[in-house]
Amino acid sequence: MVKRVAVIGAGVSGLSSIKCCLDEDLEPTCFERSTAIGGLWKFTTTVCSITKRPDFSETGQWDVVTETEEKRETAVFDAVMVCTGHFLNPRLPLESFPGIHKFKGHILHSQEYKFPECFRDKRVLVIGLGNTGGDVAVELSRMAAQVLLSTRTGTWVVSRSSDGGYPLNMMNIRRCYNFIAQLLPSRVLNWIRERQLNKRFNHKNYGLSIIKGKKQKVIINDELPTCILCGTVTLKSGVKEFTETSALFEDGTMEENIDVVIFTTGYTFSFPFLEEPLKSLCAKKIFLYKLVFPSNLEKATLAIIGLISLQGSILTGTELQARWATRVFKGLCRIPPSQKLMAEFTEKEQLIERGVMRDTSENKLEYIPYMDDIAARIGAKPSVPRLFLKDPRLAWEVFFGPCTSYQYRLMGPGQWAGARNAILTQWDRTMKPLKTRIVPDSSTSASMSCYLKMWGAPLLLASLLLICKSSLFSKLVRDKLQYRISPDLISI
Ligand SMILES: Cc1cc2nc3c(=O)[nH]c(=O)nc-3n(C[C@H](O)[C@H](O)[C@H](O)COP(=O)(O)OP(=O)(O)OC[C@H]3O[C@@H](n4cnc5c(N)ncnc54)[C@H](O)[C@@H]3O)c2cc1C
Ligand SMILES: NC(=O)c1ccc[n+]([C@@H]2O[C@H](COP(=O)([O-])OP(=O)(O)OC[C@H]3O[C@@H](n4cnc5c(N)ncnc54)[C@H](OP(=O)(O)O)[C@@H]3O)[C@@H](O)[C@H]2O)c1
């Protein structure tokens, strides 16, 4: 029976994993190589190797070798949760930049970037427009003589706050929108999304539009558009070549006298402490069942927690993964057998290699579908229709309101009695920190708009459903389209 669990890493994934082990009556031991977390942890303990024990096929046990202040220790664990994160090794693609070795200025990766003061009055080129590129460029814009931000592809830039100043993720991540998104054709959905994303500012005017055919990406940055507008950050295309002091860009422009180049080109992940072939397999996300369980293990006693990019909070994602993993360890949930998974994933890999299928394993996962999928495996996915019958007020908030983590504590193992109330009062807590100056509520138009906001979405959804289901509507569209498009393209 699984009892002792090694948790490798004490970041958010490790901390959630420890909590989930305790909830399941397991005995977690957390190993953390840095001293960042105080208190009870095993300090500065690096996990050097994790190997299957000789009787692994019967016991599923692991030998975990750790090193603390040059002293090595080995311990046997019934299960392992690898929570070492995926932003550890800087990706520094110098080979993609001809002439970079001639460049005489300072070159660094964003992992080494700590304070903007060192760049005062310098001409800085930031390469790569992910979240880090945006953050670094904005921060430097207040100190540096000039900030050039180079992107090969462009990106969508969203603000943390949505219409009315409400938090974006609470406004956007909702079951009702997820439901509509599943009904609408992807072209229509993309059109709606693009319109929405261009509402705050037109990305084309700011040189941020994504090049046609390139992967869609979104970053969160409140200040970048303003910096571009004010000229404190200058957007540039990809770098073609470096000379000793300058950079030539793909659009033919040249920037001279560059003092510093900061590569904000992201990270790679690896699991140096795992043995082969597990190490190589875990490096390929497509071979991880639901991005958690390596597919080549005869016993599911090792889980990778937190190797996900989600279009929502990573914290809730890793916690749910850990809840699932601990129940799999205990044999309370099952995953498909290794042979089946390996056959499926090998076929998928071949299809990707042949170009028949696209590799989407590095894409950000949609929040609600992924969370629901994992939650369903432990019986914690909220059933909205059942909730509507039992508790309509709660069901309303679950379906039309923000999909917050409490929703996965309403039922099943790990059910929390306070979840209902937490959902019904989540807006009070969200707004509370803003209420430092109480403004008397006097306007009727405000309550009217609240009323409209509350009923608008459901009414719109109901109308959409009716329209979609209406055979009359289908007929009308079909008749209209028949004049414009070849008949075999119409499949309404
Ligand atoms: C620059 C930057 C800014 C970010 N900003 C945000 C943000 O604003 N909001 C947000 O939601 N997310 C942000 N993220 C993402 C967020 O940091 C990660 O999603 C989150 O930290 C992942 O947590 P984790 O526990 O999985 O990994 P980590 O936080 O990386 O923790 C892994 C832990 O494992 C330890 N470890 C690794 N190897 C070993 C070993 N062999 N033995 C023992 N211990 C080991 C490490 O020391 C580390 O403490 C940011 C990421 C970066 C890189
Ligand atoms: N505030 C936040 O929430 C926050 C802040 C920082 C980081 N993070 C998170 O931390 C993680 C890492 O973010 P990150 O921005 O460091 O990395 P990232 O998301 O991987 O982005 C790196 C960028 O570098 C460019 N790039 C990648 N490979 C390249 C190559 N070979 N040559 C040239 N350019 C290349 C790409 O930009 P172009 O296509 O534009 O060239 C790419 O978007 C992400 O999950 C991110 O969400 C979050």
Measured torsion, CA atoms of residues 99, 101, 107, 112, in degrees rounded to the nearest 10 = 120
Could you list the residue range(s) of the whole structural domain that residue 66 is in?
4-88+269-353
- pLDDT value at position 450? 56
Looking at the fold, whether 247 and 279 belong to one and the same domain comes out as no
Looking at the fold, whether 273 and 218 belong to one and the same domain comes out as no
Is 439 part of any domain? no
Q: What is the CATH number of the domain that holds 223?
A: 3.50.50.60
Looking at the fold, whether 246 and 124 belong to one and the same domain comes out as yes
Name the amino acid, one letter, at 272: P
Total domains, the chain: 4
CB within 8 Å of 399: residues ≥ 6 apart? 174, 175, 176, 179, 384, 388
- The whole-angstrom separation of Cα 316 and Cα 371 is 8
Q: Whose Cα sits closest to atom 6 in ligand 1?
A: 131
Q: Which residues pair with 29 in a beta bridge?
A: 6
Q: Which of 100, 144, 109, 99 has its CA nearest to residue 124?
A: 144
Cβ of 342 less than 6 Å from ligand 1? no
Is 440 part of any domain? no
Q: Whose Cα sits closest to atom 25 in ligand 1?
A: 11
DSSP, collapsed to helix, strand or coil, labels residue 342 as helix
Ligand showing the shortest atom-to-Cα distance for residue 6: 1
Domain boundary among 265, 293, 324: 265
Name the amino acid, one letter, at 252: G
Q: Which two tokens stand for residue 112?
A: 């080494």
Q: Which of 209, 87, 235, 253 has its CA nearest to residue 150?
A: 235
- pLDDT value at position 479? 52
* Residue 361 near residue 290 (C-beta atoms within 8 A): no
Cα torsion angle, 229, 233, 236, 238, sign:
negative
Cα of 265 vs centre of ligand 2, distance in Å, is 5
Cα of 128 vs centre of ligand 2, distance in Å, is 6
Looking at the fold, whether 333 and 414 belong to one and the same domain comes out as no
- The whole-angstrom separation of Cα 87 and Cα 279 is 17
Looking at the fold, whether 337 and 293 belong to one and the same domain comes out as yes
- pLDDT value at position 26? 97
Looking at the fold, whether 100 and 75 belong to one and the same domain comes out as no
Is 28 part of any domain? yes
Is 376 part of any domain? no
Is 426 part of any domain? yes
- Report whether pLDDT(486) > 60: no
Looking at the fold, whether 288 and 309 belong to one and the same domain comes out as yes
pLDDT band at 374 (very low <50, low <70, confident <90, very high): very high
Q: Averaged over 86-98, what is the pLDDT?
A: 93
Is 368 part of any domain? no
Is 371 part of any domain? no
Cβ of 133 less than 6 Å from ligand 1? no
pLDDT band at 485 (very low <50, low <70, confident <90, very high): very low
DSSP, collapsed to helix, strand or coil, labels residue 149 as strand
Ligand showing the shortest atom-to-Cα distance for residue 363: 2
Measuring CA to CA, how many Å separate 3 from each of 17, 288, 302? Answer: 14, 23, 13
* Residue 140 near residue 201 (C-beta atoms within 8 A): no
Q: Which of 43, 220, 55, 54 has its CA nearest to residue 131?
A: 220
